[in-house]
Protein backbone atom coordinates (compact mmCIF):
# COMPACT_ATOMS: atom_id res chain seq x y z
CA UNK A 1 0.00 0.00 0.00
CA UNK A 2 2.88 2.33 0.84
CA UNK A 3 4.29 1.86 -2.65
CA UNK A 4 0.94 2.88 -4.18
CA UNK A 5 0.73 5.86 -1.81
CA UNK A 6 4.29 6.91 -2.64
CA UNK A 7 3.45 6.79 -6.34
CA UNK A 8 0.37 8.93 -5.73
CA UNK A 9 2.22 11.50 -3.62
CA UNK A 10 5.05 11.75 -6.14
CA UNK A 11 2.50 12.29 -8.92
CA UNK A 12 0.74 14.89 -6.75
CA UNK A 13 4.06 16.60 -6.20
CA UNK A 14 5.02 16.66 -9.85
CA UNK A 15 1.59 17.80 -11.03
CA UNK A 16 1.12 20.53 -8.45
CA UNK A 17 3.23 23.62 -9.16
CA UNK A 18 2.57 24.92 -5.62
CA UNK A 19 3.88 21.78 -3.92
CA UNK A 20 6.83 21.59 -6.23
CA UNK A 21 7.57 25.23 -5.50
CA UNK A 22 7.52 24.63 -1.74
CA UNK A 23 9.91 21.67 -2.13
CA UNK A 24 12.23 23.68 -4.34
CA UNK A 25 12.08 26.61 -1.90
CA UNK A 26 13.11 24.39 1.00
CA UNK A 27 15.91 22.81 -1.03
CA UNK A 28 16.99 26.20 -2.44
CA UNK A 29 16.96 27.91 0.98
CA UNK A 30 18.80 24.91 2.45
CA UNK A 31 21.52 24.97 -0.22
CA UNK A 32 21.94 28.72 0.18
CA UNK A 33 22.36 28.58 3.95
CA UNK A 34 24.75 25.64 3.65
CA UNK A 35 26.94 27.80 1.41
CA UNK A 36 26.64 30.70 3.87
CA UNK A 37 27.60 28.36 6.70
CA UNK A 38 30.72 27.34 4.80
CA UNK A 39 31.63 31.01 4.39
CA UNK A 40 31.24 31.50 8.12
CA UNK A 41 33.51 28.54 8.88
CA UNK A 42 36.03 29.94 6.42
CA UNK A 43 36.04 33.27 8.27
CA UNK A 44 36.47 31.39 11.56
CA UNK A 45 39.50 29.56 10.15
CA UNK A 46 40.92 32.82 8.81
CA UNK A 47 40.64 34.36 12.28
CA UNK A 48 42.57 31.40 13.71
CA UNK A 49 45.22 31.78 10.99
CA UNK A 50 45.52 35.53 11.71
CA UNK A 51 45.98 34.77 15.43
CA UNK A 52 48.65 32.23 14.64
CA UNK A 53 50.47 34.74 12.42
CA UNK A 54 50.45 37.29 15.25
CA UNK A 55 51.72 34.59 17.60
CA UNK A 56 54.59 33.72 15.27
CA UNK A 57 55.52 37.41 15.07
CA UNK A 58 55.72 37.73 18.84
CA UNK A 59 57.67 34.46 19.21
CA UNK A 60 60.08 35.45 16.44
CA UNK A 61 60.74 38.78 18.18
CA UNK A 62 61.60 37.04 21.46
CA UNK A 63 63.74 34.40 19.72
CA UNK A 64 65.58 37.24 17.96
CA UNK A 65 66.49 38.84 21.30
CA UNK A 66 67.73 35.51 22.62
CA UNK A 67 69.78 34.94 19.46
CA UNK A 68 71.35 38.40 19.79
CA UNK A 69 71.96 37.89 23.49
CA UNK A 70 69.65 40.79 24.41
CA UNK A 71 67.16 40.91 27.25
CA UNK A 72 64.58 42.74 25.20
CA UNK A 73 64.03 45.70 22.84
CA UNK A 74 66.61 48.47 23.03
CA UNK A 75 64.07 51.24 23.67
CA UNK A 76 62.39 49.38 26.57
CA UNK A 77 65.06 48.88 29.16
CA UNK A 78 62.63 47.40 31.65
CA UNK A 79 61.92 44.36 29.51
CA UNK A 80 63.91 41.34 30.68
CA UNK A 81 63.28 38.02 28.98
CA UNK A 82 65.21 36.15 31.65
CA UNK A 83 62.33 36.91 34.01
CA UNK A 84 59.29 34.61 34.06
CA UNK A 85 56.64 37.30 33.64
CA UNK A 86 58.32 38.74 30.53
CA UNK A 87 58.65 35.26 29.07
CA UNK A 88 54.93 34.87 29.75
CA UNK A 89 54.28 38.15 27.94
CA UNK A 90 56.33 37.32 24.84
CA UNK A 91 55.17 33.69 24.63
CA UNK A 92 51.83 35.08 23.44
CA UNK A 93 50.59 31.81 22.06
CA UNK A 94 47.09 31.66 20.65
CA UNK A 95 44.69 29.09 21.98
CA UNK A 96 42.32 28.43 19.09
CA UNK A 97 38.90 26.90 19.30
CA UNK A 98 38.63 24.76 16.19
CA UNK A 99 35.30 24.72 14.39
CA UNK A 100 33.49 21.41 14.80
CA UNK A 101 33.11 19.46 11.53
CA UNK A 102 29.52 20.64 11.16
CA UNK A 103 29.95 24.16 12.56
CA UNK A 104 28.46 25.68 9.39
CA UNK A 105 24.98 24.28 9.97
CA UNK A 106 24.33 26.53 12.98
CA UNK A 107 26.19 29.67 11.97
CA UNK A 108 23.24 31.88 12.90
CA UNK A 109 23.22 30.81 16.53
CA UNK A 110 23.99 33.56 19.01
CA UNK A 111 27.65 32.83 19.67
CA UNK A 112 29.24 34.38 22.71
CA UNK A 113 32.39 32.26 22.84
CA UNK A 114 35.81 33.38 21.61
CA UNK A 115 37.49 31.79 18.61
CA UNK A 116 41.09 32.44 19.70
CA UNK A 117 42.48 33.65 23.00
CA UNK A 118 45.92 35.17 23.49
CA UNK A 119 47.36 33.20 26.39
CA UNK A 120 49.14 34.89 29.24
CA UNK A 121 48.65 34.87 32.97
CA UNK A 122 46.14 37.73 32.77
CA UNK A 123 43.95 36.29 30.01
CA UNK A 124 40.27 36.42 31.00
CA UNK A 125 38.11 33.89 29.18
CA UNK A 126 35.00 35.55 30.57
CA UNK A 127 35.77 38.72 28.69
CA UNK A 128 37.06 37.05 25.51
CA UNK A 129 34.53 37.51 22.76
CA UNK A 130 33.78 35.70 19.54
CA UNK A 131 35.53 36.68 16.35
CA UNK A 132 32.34 38.04 14.84
CA UNK A 133 31.26 41.55 15.59
CA UNK A 134 27.53 41.07 15.78
CA UNK A 135 25.17 43.67 14.46
CA UNK A 136 22.55 43.54 17.21
CA UNK A 137 19.85 44.70 14.80
CA UNK A 138 20.45 41.58 12.70
CA UNK A 139 21.34 39.19 15.53
CA UNK A 140 18.01 39.79 17.23
CA UNK A 141 16.02 38.24 14.36
CA UNK A 142 17.61 34.87 14.97
CA UNK A 143 19.11 34.35 11.52
CA UNK A 144 18.53 31.64 8.99
CA UNK A 145 20.89 28.71 8.92
CA UNK A 146 20.48 25.03 8.16
CA UNK A 147 19.23 24.43 11.71
CA UNK A 148 16.43 26.97 11.13
CA UNK A 149 15.62 25.56 7.68
CA UNK A 150 15.37 22.02 9.04
CA UNK A 151 13.58 22.98 12.25
CA UNK A 152 11.05 25.43 10.81
CA UNK A 153 10.73 24.82 7.07
CA UNK A 154 10.88 21.01 6.93
CA UNK A 155 7.64 20.72 8.95
CA UNK A 156 6.06 23.27 6.60
CA UNK A 157 7.09 21.11 3.64
CA UNK A 158 5.40 18.10 5.25
CA UNK A 159 2.30 20.18 5.84
CA UNK A 160 2.26 21.57 2.31
CA UNK A 161 2.54 18.09 0.83
CA UNK A 162 0.07 16.38 3.14
CA UNK A 163 -2.40 19.02 4.28
CA UNK A 164 -5.35 17.47 2.44
CA UNK A 165 -4.72 13.85 3.44
CA UNK A 166 -7.62 12.36 5.35
CA UNK A 167 -9.70 15.53 5.34
CA UNK A 168 -10.06 15.40 1.57
CA UNK A 169 -10.88 11.69 1.57
CA UNK A 170 -13.64 12.27 4.09
CA UNK A 171 -15.07 15.44 2.55
CA UNK A 172 -15.06 14.06 -0.99
CA UNK A 173 -16.41 10.68 0.05
CA UNK A 174 -13.40 8.73 -1.23
CA UNK A 175 -13.02 6.79 2.00
CA UNK A 176 -15.87 4.27 1.51
CA UNK A 177 -14.42 3.45 -1.90
CA UNK A 178 -10.96 2.91 -0.40
CA UNK A 179 -12.51 0.72 2.28
CA UNK A 180 -14.32 -1.38 -0.32
CA UNK A 181 -11.21 -1.73 -2.47
CA UNK A 182 -8.54 -2.41 0.14
CA UNK A 183 -10.44 -3.25 3.31
CA UNK A 184 -8.60 -0.63 5.43
CA UNK A 185 -9.31 3.04 5.02
CA UNK A 186 -7.11 4.20 7.92
CA UNK A 187 -4.11 2.25 6.61
CA UNK A 188 -4.46 4.15 3.35
CA UNK A 189 -4.37 7.50 5.16
CA UNK A 190 -1.30 6.44 7.15
CA UNK A 191 0.35 5.13 3.98
CA UNK A 192 -0.16 8.52 2.31
CA UNK A 193 1.35 10.28 5.33
CA UNK A 194 4.34 7.93 5.35
CA UNK A 195 4.82 8.63 1.63
CA UNK A 196 4.89 12.38 2.37
CA UNK A 197 7.33 11.67 5.20
CA UNK A 198 9.58 9.75 2.80
CA UNK A 199 9.66 12.71 0.40
CA UNK A 200 10.38 15.19 3.24
CA UNK A 201 13.00 12.90 4.78
CA UNK A 202 14.70 12.61 1.39
CA UNK A 203 14.84 16.41 1.17
CA UNK A 204 16.17 16.70 4.73
CA UNK A 205 18.75 13.97 4.24
CA UNK A 206 19.82 15.48 0.93
CA UNK A 207 20.54 18.79 2.68
CA UNK A 208 22.32 16.90 5.48
CA UNK A 209 24.48 15.08 2.95
CA UNK A 210 25.26 18.35 1.14
CA UNK A 211 26.28 20.04 4.38
CA UNK A 212 28.45 17.06 5.35
CA UNK A 213 30.16 16.81 1.98
CA UNK A 214 30.83 20.54 1.66
CA UNK A 215 32.22 20.69 5.21
CA UNK A 216 34.43 17.70 4.47
CA UNK A 217 33.07 16.04 7.59
CA UNK A 218 33.26 12.28 7.97
CA UNK A 219 30.02 10.36 7.42
CA UNK A 220 30.36 9.04 10.99
CA UNK A 221 30.23 12.58 12.42
CA UNK A 222 27.16 13.29 10.27
CA UNK A 223 25.36 10.16 11.44
CA UNK A 224 23.81 11.77 14.56
CA UNK A 225 22.65 14.70 12.40
CA UNK A 226 21.03 12.34 9.90
CA UNK A 227 19.40 10.38 12.73
CA UNK A 228 18.01 13.53 14.33
CA UNK A 229 16.68 14.81 10.98
CA UNK A 230 15.03 11.46 10.39
CA UNK A 231 13.51 11.41 13.88
CA UNK A 232 12.25 14.97 13.42
CA UNK A 233 10.62 14.09 10.08
CA UNK A 234 9.08 10.99 11.66
CA UNK A 235 7.64 13.16 14.44
CA UNK A 236 6.03 15.61 12.02
CA UNK A 237 4.82 12.73 9.85
CA UNK A 238 3.20 11.23 12.93
CA UNK A 239 1.59 14.60 13.65
CA UNK A 240 0.37 14.77 10.06
CA UNK A 241 -1.02 11.25 10.41
CA UNK A 242 -2.74 12.06 13.70
CA UNK A 243 -4.44 15.07 12.13
CA UNK A 244 -5.25 13.16 8.93
CA UNK A 245 -7.07 10.31 10.70
CA UNK A 246 -9.18 12.78 12.69
CA UNK A 247 -9.80 15.69 10.26
CA UNK A 248 -13.27 15.81 8.73
CA UNK A 249 -12.29 18.10 5.87
CA UNK A 250 -9.16 19.71 4.41
CA UNK A 251 -9.86 23.05 6.13
CA UNK A 252 -9.99 21.41 9.53
CA UNK A 253 -6.76 19.56 8.77
CA UNK A 254 -5.06 22.76 7.62
CA UNK A 255 -6.11 24.68 10.72
CA UNK A 256 -5.02 21.84 13.05
CA UNK A 257 -1.62 21.47 11.39
CA UNK A 258 -1.11 25.23 11.26
CA UNK A 259 -2.01 25.54 14.93
CA UNK A 260 0.40 22.71 15.83
CA UNK A 261 3.22 24.35 13.88
CA UNK A 262 2.58 27.71 15.48
CA UNK A 263 2.43 26.17 18.95
CA UNK A 264 5.56 24.02 18.63
CA UNK A 265 7.70 26.24 16.42
CA UNK A 266 6.69 29.70 17.60
CA UNK A 267 4.70 29.91 20.82
CA UNK A 268 6.51 27.45 23.13
CA UNK A 269 9.99 28.58 22.03
CA UNK A 270 8.87 32.20 22.50
CA UNK A 271 7.66 31.35 25.97
CA UNK A 272 11.09 29.86 26.69
CA UNK A 273 12.78 32.92 25.29
CA UNK A 274 10.67 35.19 27.50
CA UNK A 275 11.35 33.03 30.56
CA UNK A 276 15.05 33.14 29.76
CA UNK A 277 14.92 36.93 29.65
CA UNK A 278 13.17 36.87 33.03
CA UNK A 279 15.98 34.68 34.44
CA UNK A 280 18.57 37.11 33.16
CA UNK A 281 16.69 40.00 34.74
CA UNK A 282 17.41 38.82 38.25
CA UNK A 283 20.73 40.57 38.62
CA UNK A 284 23.22 42.67 36.78
CA UNK A 285 26.02 40.18 37.41
CA UNK A 286 27.41 42.16 40.30
CA UNK A 287 29.69 39.30 41.27
CA UNK A 288 31.20 39.39 37.81
CA UNK A 289 31.57 43.16 37.66
CA UNK A 290 31.67 45.38 40.74
CA UNK A 291 32.78 42.65 43.13
CA UNK A 292 35.37 41.34 40.66
CA UNK A 293 36.83 44.83 40.31
CA UNK A 294 37.42 44.95 44.03
CA UNK A 295 38.99 41.49 44.15
CA UNK A 296 42.48 43.04 43.77
CA UNK A 297 41.89 45.30 46.74
CA UNK A 298 40.63 42.33 48.75
CA UNK A 299 43.86 40.45 47.94
CA UNK A 300 45.95 43.36 49.18
CA UNK A 301 44.15 43.17 52.51
CA UNK A 302 44.89 39.44 52.99
CA UNK A 303 47.40 38.51 55.63
CA UNK A 304 50.48 36.64 54.46
CA UNK A 305 49.27 33.32 55.90
CA UNK A 306 45.85 33.67 54.37
CA UNK A 307 47.37 34.48 50.99
CA UNK A 308 49.64 31.44 50.99
CA UNK A 309 46.87 29.20 52.27
CA UNK A 310 44.57 30.24 49.44
CA UNK A 311 47.35 29.88 46.88
CA UNK A 312 48.42 26.43 48.01
CA UNK A 313 44.82 25.24 48.11
CA UNK A 314 44.62 26.00 44.40
CA UNK A 315 48.23 25.07 43.45
CA UNK A 316 49.40 22.36 45.92
CA UNK A 317 52.66 21.82 43.99
CA UNK A 318 53.75 25.39 44.78
CA UNK A 319 53.82 24.60 48.53
CA UNK A 320 57.15 22.81 48.08
CA UNK A 321 58.68 25.75 46.18
CA UNK A 322 57.69 28.58 48.52
CA UNK A 323 60.59 30.95 49.25
CA UNK A 324 62.01 31.67 52.65
CA UNK A 325 61.34 34.05 54.16
CA UNK A 326 57.85 33.89 52.78
CA UNK A 327 57.43 37.62 52.83
CA UNK A 328 59.84 37.80 49.86
CA UNK A 329 57.41 35.85 47.70
CA UNK A 330 54.24 37.71 48.62
CA UNK A 331 54.11 39.87 45.49
CA UNK A 332 54.41 36.86 43.19
CA UNK A 333 51.94 34.92 45.32
CA UNK A 334 49.42 37.75 45.04
CA UNK A 335 49.64 37.30 41.26
CA UNK A 336 48.05 33.89 41.71
CA UNK A 337 44.95 35.33 43.33
CA UNK A 338 43.79 36.69 39.97
CA UNK A 339 43.16 33.22 38.53
CA UNK A 340 41.57 32.06 41.79
CA UNK A 341 39.20 35.00 41.60
CA UNK A 342 38.55 34.29 37.91
CA UNK A 343 37.74 30.65 38.62
CA UNK A 344 35.38 31.77 41.36
CA UNK A 345 33.63 34.07 38.89
CA UNK A 346 33.43 31.26 36.38
CA UNK A 347 31.81 28.99 38.94
CA UNK A 348 29.35 31.76 39.70
CA UNK A 349 28.54 32.14 36.01
CA UNK A 350 28.28 28.37 35.77
CA UNK A 351 25.54 28.47 38.38
CA UNK A 352 23.73 31.12 36.35
CA UNK A 353 24.22 29.06 33.19
CA UNK A 354 22.84 26.02 34.97
CA UNK A 355 19.47 27.75 35.41
CA UNK A 356 19.40 28.58 31.69
CA UNK A 357 20.38 25.02 30.76
CA UNK A 358 17.60 23.62 32.92
CA UNK A 359 15.17 25.97 31.22
CA UNK A 360 16.29 24.88 27.74
CA UNK A 361 15.97 21.22 28.80
CA UNK A 362 12.48 21.76 30.20
CA UNK A 363 11.29 23.77 27.21
CA UNK A 364 12.80 21.16 24.88
CA UNK A 365 10.51 18.57 26.43
CA UNK A 366 7.57 20.81 25.59
CA UNK A 367 8.61 21.49 22.00
CA UNK A 368 10.30 18.92 19.76
CA UNK A 369 11.37 21.82 17.53
CA UNK A 370 13.31 23.41 20.37
CA UNK A 371 14.77 20.05 21.33
CA UNK A 372 15.82 19.44 17.72
CA UNK A 373 17.41 22.87 17.17
CA UNK A 374 19.20 22.66 20.55
CA UNK A 375 20.64 19.24 19.66
CA UNK A 376 21.76 20.46 16.24
CA UNK A 377 23.53 23.48 17.76
CA UNK A 378 25.32 21.06 20.08
CA UNK A 379 26.36 18.86 17.15
CA UNK A 380 27.65 21.95 15.35
CA UNK A 381 29.75 22.88 18.38
CA UNK A 382 27.95 26.20 18.72
CA UNK A 383 26.03 27.71 21.54
CA UNK A 384 26.56 28.12 25.27
CA UNK A 385 27.77 24.58 26.03
CA UNK A 386 30.57 24.76 23.47
CA UNK A 387 31.58 28.28 24.55
CA UNK A 388 31.61 27.20 28.19
CA UNK A 389 33.84 24.18 27.52
CA UNK A 390 36.35 26.44 25.77
CA UNK A 391 36.28 28.98 28.60
CA UNK A 392 37.21 26.30 31.11
CA UNK A 393 40.02 25.04 28.87
CA UNK A 394 41.36 28.61 28.62
CA UNK A 395 41.14 29.04 32.40
CA UNK A 396 43.16 25.81 32.85
CA UNK A 397 45.81 27.08 30.44
CA UNK A 398 45.94 30.45 32.24
CA UNK A 399 46.29 28.67 35.59
CA UNK A 400 49.25 26.73 34.13
CA UNK A 401 50.89 30.00 33.09
CA UNK A 402 50.27 31.55 36.52
CA UNK A 403 51.75 28.56 38.35
CA UNK A 404 54.80 28.57 36.11
CA UNK A 405 55.36 32.29 36.54
CA UNK A 406 55.05 32.15 40.33
CA UNK A 407 57.42 29.18 40.57
CA UNK A 408 59.92 30.88 38.25
CA UNK A 409 59.79 34.14 40.21
CA UNK A 410 60.25 32.37 43.54
CA UNK A 411 63.22 30.34 42.28
CA UNK A 412 64.90 33.59 41.16
CA UNK A 413 67.08 31.77 38.60
CA UNK A 414 67.41 33.64 35.27
CA UNK A 415 65.56 31.90 32.45
CA UNK A 416 66.94 31.21 28.98
CA UNK A 417 65.67 30.38 25.50
CA UNK A 418 65.09 26.75 26.43
CA UNK A 419 62.76 27.81 29.23
CA UNK A 420 61.01 30.09 26.75
CA UNK A 421 60.57 27.27 24.22
CA UNK A 422 59.40 24.96 27.00
CA UNK A 423 56.75 27.52 27.96
CA UNK A 424 55.61 27.77 24.34
CA UNK A 425 55.54 23.99 23.96
CA UNK A 426 53.56 23.61 27.19
CA UNK A 427 50.88 26.01 26.04
CA UNK A 428 47.86 24.38 24.45
CA UNK A 429 47.35 25.42 20.83
CA UNK A 430 43.95 24.18 19.81
CA UNK A 431 40.73 23.12 21.38
CA UNK A 432 38.34 20.71 19.80
CA UNK A 433 34.76 21.27 20.83
CA UNK A 434 33.49 18.09 22.47
CA UNK A 435 30.36 16.72 20.89
CA UNK A 436 27.40 17.29 23.13
CA UNK A 437 24.93 14.60 24.03
CA UNK A 438 22.12 14.41 21.50
CA UNK A 439 20.56 11.21 22.82
CA UNK A 440 18.15 13.14 25.04
CA UNK A 441 16.83 15.10 22.07
CA UNK A 442 16.43 11.92 20.05
CA UNK A 443 14.58 10.34 22.97
CA UNK A 444 12.32 13.42 23.23
CA UNK A 445 11.45 13.18 19.54
CA UNK A 446 10.76 9.45 19.80
CA UNK A 447 8.62 9.95 22.92
CA UNK A 448 6.57 12.68 21.21
CA UNK A 449 6.13 10.49 18.14
CA UNK A 450 4.95 7.53 20.22
CA UNK A 451 2.62 9.75 22.24
CA UNK A 452 1.11 11.15 19.03
CA UNK A 453 0.65 7.73 17.49
CA UNK A 454 -0.92 6.40 20.68
CA UNK A 455 -3.18 9.41 21.04
CA UNK A 456 -4.28 9.32 17.41
CA UNK A 457 -5.09 5.60 17.60
CA UNK A 458 -7.05 6.09 20.81
CA UNK A 459 -9.13 8.98 19.45
CA UNK A 460 -9.71 7.28 16.12
CA UNK A 461 -11.02 4.18 17.93
CA UNK A 462 -13.29 6.32 20.08
CA UNK A 463 -14.62 8.01 16.95
CA UNK A 464 -15.21 4.61 15.37
CA UNK A 465 -17.24 3.54 18.37
Partner 1 sequence: MIGTLFLNEWRAVLRDGSGKVVLLLGALLAFGAAWTSASTHDRQEFAQSAATHAARSAWDQREGDSPHSRAHYGDFVFRPNGPLAYLDSGLQAVTGRVIYTEAHRQNTAMHKPQQEAASLLRYDRLEPATVLQLLAPLVLVLVGFGVVSNERESGRMRLLWIQGVRPMPLLLAKTLALWSLGTLLCVLIVGAQLIFADQMDLGRTLTFLALHLLLLWIVAALVTVVSARTRRPGTSAAVLLSLWVLCGIVMPRIAAMTASALDPLPGRDAFQAAMQEDREQGLDGHNPRDARRQKFEKEVLAKYNVNSRDELPVNLGGLIMQADEEYGAQVWDKHFGELEEHLQRQDRLAGTFSFLNPIQATDRLSMEIAGTGLSSHLDFLRQTEDYRRELVRKLNEEDAYGVTRNDEGRLTRTTTHGFYTGFEAFHYEPLGLRDLLGQRSMELAALFAWMLGTTALLAFTAGRFERRGIL
By CB under 8 A, name the one of 92, 147, 195, 442 that touches partner 1: 147
94: β partners: 118
By CB under 8 A, name the one of 70, 181, 202, 274 that touches partner 1: 274
x/- mask, partner 1, residues 10-39, rule CB under 8 A, reads -----------------------x--x--x
Nearest residue (CB) to partner 1, 199 versus 370: 370
x/- mask, partner 1, residues 163-202, rule CB under 8 A, reads x---------------------------------------
Q: At 108, phi and psi to the nearest 5?
A: -90, 0
460 makes contact with partner 1 (CB under 8 A):
no
Q: At 432, phi and psi to the nearest 5?
A: -100, 125
129 makes contact with partner 1 (CB under 8 A):
yes
Nearest residue (CB) to partner 1, 140 versus 177: 140
Q: How many beta carbons lie within 10 A of that of residue 451, not counting itself?
A: 13
By CB under 8 A, name the one of 9, 88, 111, 185 that touches partner 1: 111
Instruction: With beta carbons less than 8 A apart as the criterion, state whether 407 and 319 touch.
Output: no
x/- mask, partner 1, residues 278-297, rule CB under 8 A, reads xxxxxxxxx-xxx--xx--x
101 makes contact with partner 1 (CB under 8 A):
no
CA-to-CA separations, 330 to 23, 302, 326, 382, 384, in angstroms, rounded: 69, 10, 7, 41, 37
Q: Minimal distance in Å, beta carbon 417 to partner 1?
A: 26
Q: H or E stretch including 98?
A: strand 94-98
Name the one range near partner 1 by CB under 8 A: 104-112, 213-221, 237-245, 317-325.
104-112
Q: Name every residue whose Cβ is closer than 8 Å to that of residue 279 and which is 6 or more positions away in sequence.
A: 355, 356, 359
67 makes contact with partner 1 (CB under 8 A):
no
Exposed (0-12), middle (13-18) or buried (19+): which is 286, by Cβ within 10 Å? exposed
Binding footprint of partner 1, residue count (CB under 8 A)? 87
Closest CA to 1 of 165, 185, 196, 191: 191
Name the one range near partner 1 by CB under 8 A: 134-142, 301-309, 328-336, 426-434.
134-142
Closest CA to 399 of 352, 351, 344: 344
Name the one range near partner 1 by CB under 8 A: 106-114, 222-230, 391-399, 448-456.
106-114
Amino acid sequence: MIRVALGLELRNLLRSPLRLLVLLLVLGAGSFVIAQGQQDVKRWQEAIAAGQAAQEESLAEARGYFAEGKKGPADRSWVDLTQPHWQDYYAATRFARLPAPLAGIAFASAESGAVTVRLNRFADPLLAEGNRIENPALAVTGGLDLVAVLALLLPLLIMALGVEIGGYERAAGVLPLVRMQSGHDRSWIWARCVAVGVIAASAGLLLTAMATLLAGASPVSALPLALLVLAYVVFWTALLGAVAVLARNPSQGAVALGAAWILLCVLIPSLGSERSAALAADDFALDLTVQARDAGAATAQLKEDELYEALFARFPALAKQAPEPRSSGVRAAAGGMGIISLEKRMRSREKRGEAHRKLVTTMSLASPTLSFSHALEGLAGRGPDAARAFRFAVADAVAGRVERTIAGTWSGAPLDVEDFEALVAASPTSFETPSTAWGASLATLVAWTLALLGGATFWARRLDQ
